Structure 1
Amino acid sequence: MRIAVLDRDTCKPTDCSVSSNKPCIKYCPGVRTGLETITLGKNGFPYLTPSLCSGCGICVKKCPFNCYKIVNVPEKLDSQITHKYALDGFTLFRMLLPSKGRVLGVIGQNGIGKSTAMNILSGHLKMNLGLFNEDSPDWPEIIDHFKGSILQGYLEGLKEKKLKLIHKPQEITAIPKFVKGTVESLLKKIDTTEKMDYIVSELSLDKILHRDLSVLSGGELQRVSIAAALLREGECYLFDEPSSYLDVSQRLKMAKLIRELSDTEKRVIVIEHDLAILDFLSDQICLLYGVPGAYGIISNVQGVRVGINIYLNGYIKDENMRFREEAIQFHERPPASSLYENSKILFEYGDMETTLGDFHLKIPGGEIHAGEVIGILGPNGSGKTTFINLISGKINPDKGVIDQKDLKLSVKTQYIDYEPEITVYGILQKIKGSPHFDSQYKKRIIQGFKLEDIENRTIKELSGGELQRIAIADCLTNEADVYLIDEPSAFLDVEMRLSMALIIRRSIESIKKAAFIVEHDIITQDFISDSLIVFKGTPGVMGFSSVPQDLRSGMNEFLKMMNITFRRDLSTGRPRVNKINSNLDKYQRKIGEYYYIPTKDED
Structure 2
Amino acid sequence: MVRVAVVDRELCKPDKCSLECIRFCPINRTGGKAIELGEDGKPVVYEDVCIGCGICVKKCPFNALSIVNLPDELEKMLIHRYGPNAFKLYGLPAPRQGAILGVIGKNGTGKTTALRILAGELKPNLGIFDREPSWDEIIKRFRGTEIQAYLQRLAEGKIRAAHKIQYVDLVPRRVKGTVGKLLERADQRGVSKEIAKFLGLDRLWDRDVRRLSGGELQKFLVAAVLSRDADIYLFDEPSSYLDVRERIKVARAIRRFAPKNAYVVVVEHDIAMLDYLSDYVVVMYGEPGVYGIASKPYGVRVGVNNFLKGYLPAENVRIRSEPIRFHVREAPATVTAGREKYLEWGELLVKRDGFVLRAEPGELQKGEVVGVLGPNGIGKTTFVRVLAGELEPQEGYVYKPREELKVSYKPQYVSPAMFEGKTVEQVLREANPAALAPGSWLYTELVRRLGLHRLLDRRADSLSGGEMQKLAVAAALAREADIYLLDEPSAYLDVEERLTVARAIRRIVETRGVAALVVEHDVAVQDYISDRVMVFTGTPGKEGHAHRPMGLREGMNMFLKELGITFRRDPETGRPRVNKEDSYLDRLQKRLGEYYYIPKRGEEESEES
Q: Same fold (TM over 0.5)?
A: yes
Equivalents in 2 of 1:318, 1:151: separation in Å?
Answer: 17
Corresponding residue of 1:452: 453
- The one-letter code sitting in structure 2 at the alignment partner of 1:572 is T
- The one-letter code sitting in structure 2 at the alignment partner of 1:69 is S
More displaced, 461-470 or 41-50? 461-470
Corresponding residue of 1:62: 59
Corresponding residue of 1:207: 203
Equivalents in 1 of 2:21, 2:126: separation in Å?
Answer: 28
Are residues 601 and 295 of structure 1, via their aligned partners in 2, closer, same or farther at CA, if it must alter by over 3 Å?
closer
- 5+ residue gaps in structure 1? none
Corresponding residue of 2:115: 118
The structure 2 residue matched to 1:163, chosen from 159, 163, 180, is: 159
Matches within 5 A, 1:82-481: 82-134=79-131, 136-261=132-257, 264-332=260-328, 334-335=330-331, 337-403=333-399, 406-417=404-415, 418-419=418-419, 421-433=421-433, 442-443=442-443, 444-447=445-448, 449-460=450-461, 462-481=463-482
Equivalents in 1 of 2:202, 2:392: separation in Å?
Answer: 32
- 1:426-447 CA-to-partner distances (Å, cap 9, x unmatched) read 1232244379x9x856445445
Are residues 35 and 151 of structure 1, via their aligned partners in 2, closer, same or farther at CA, if it must alter by over 3 Å?
closer
Is the partner of 2:44 in helix, strand or coil?
Answer: coil
Q: CA RMSD in A?
A: 2.6
Equivalents in 1 of 2:599, 2:91: separation in Å?
Answer: 42
- The one-letter code sitting in structure 1 at the alignment partner of 2:596 is Y
Are residues 525 and 128 of structure 1, via their aligned partners in 2, closer, same or farther at CA, if it must alter by over 3 Å?
same
Kept in 1: contact 2:195–2:257 (CA 8 A)? no
- 5+ residue gaps in structure 2? 604-609
Are residues 420 and 215 of structure 1, via their aligned partners in 2, closer, same or farther at CA, if it must alter by over 3 Å?
farther
Equivalents in 2 of 1:2, 1:25: separation in Å?
Answer: 21
Kept in 2: contact 1:382–1:536 (CA 8 A)? yes
Shift of 1:67: 1.0
Kept in 2: contact 1:50–1:87 (CA 8 A)? no
- 1:100-158 CA-to-partner distances (Å, cap 9, x unmatched) read 10100001111111111111112222111111113x31233223333454544433443
Corresponding residue of 1:519: 520
Is the partner of 1:484 in helix, strand or coil?
Answer: strand
Equivalents in 2 of 1:314, 1:479: separation in Å?
Answer: 31
Shift of 1:452: 2.4
Kept in 2: contact 1:432–1:442 (CA 8 A)? no
- The one-letter code sitting in structure 1 at the alignment partner of 2:246 is Q
Are residues 445 and 127 of structure 1, via their aligned partners in 2, closer, same or farther at CA, if it must alter by over 3 Å?
closer
Kept in 2: contact 1:7–1:293 (CA 8 A)? no
Equivalents in 1 of 2:99, 2:135: separation in Å?
Answer: 26
Equivalents in 1 of 2:447, 2:149: separation in Å?
Answer: 47
- The one-letter code sitting in structure 2 at the alignment partner of 1:270 is V
More displaced, 505-514 or 404-413? 404-413
Kept in 2: contact 1:425–1:456 (CA 8 A)? yes
Are residues 174 and 420 of structure 1, via their aligned partners in 2, closer, same or farther at CA, if it must alter by over 3 Å?
farther
Equivalents in 2 of 1:328, 1:598: separation in Å?
Answer: 19
Kept in 2: contact 1:431–1:442 (CA 8 A)? no
Corresponding residue of 2:607: none
In the alignment of these two chains, the number of paired residues is 597
Equivalents in 1 of 2:450, 2:260: separation in Å?
Answer: 42
Kept in 1: contact 2:33–2:49 (CA 8 A)? no
Corresponding residue of 2:3: 3
More displaced, 116-125 or 544-553? 116-125
Kept in 2: contact 1:30–1:49 (CA 8 A)? no
Are residues 77 and 445 of structure 1, via their aligned partners in 2, closer, same or farther at CA, if it must alter by over 3 Å?
closer
Is the partner of 1:25 in helix, strand or coil?
Answer: helix
Are residues 422 and 9 of structure 1, via their aligned partners in 2, closer, same or farther at CA, if it must alter by over 3 Å?
farther
- The one-letter code sitting in structure 1 at the alignment partner of 2:342 is L
Equivalents in 2 of 1:327, 1:480: separation in Å?
Answer: 28
Kept in 1: contact 2:209–2:217 (CA 8 A)? yes
Is the partner of 2:254 in helix, strand or coil?
Answer: helix
Is the partner of 1:559 in helix, strand or coil?
Answer: helix
TM-score under structure 2 normalisation? 0.92
- The one-letter code sitting in structure 2 at the alignment partner of 1:63 is C
Equivalents in 2 of 1:117, 1:601: separation in Å?
Answer: 39
- 1:39-73 CA-to-partner distances (Å, cap 9, x unmatched) read 44464331111111101222112212111123121
- The one-letter code sitting in structure 1 at the alignment partner of 2:226 is L
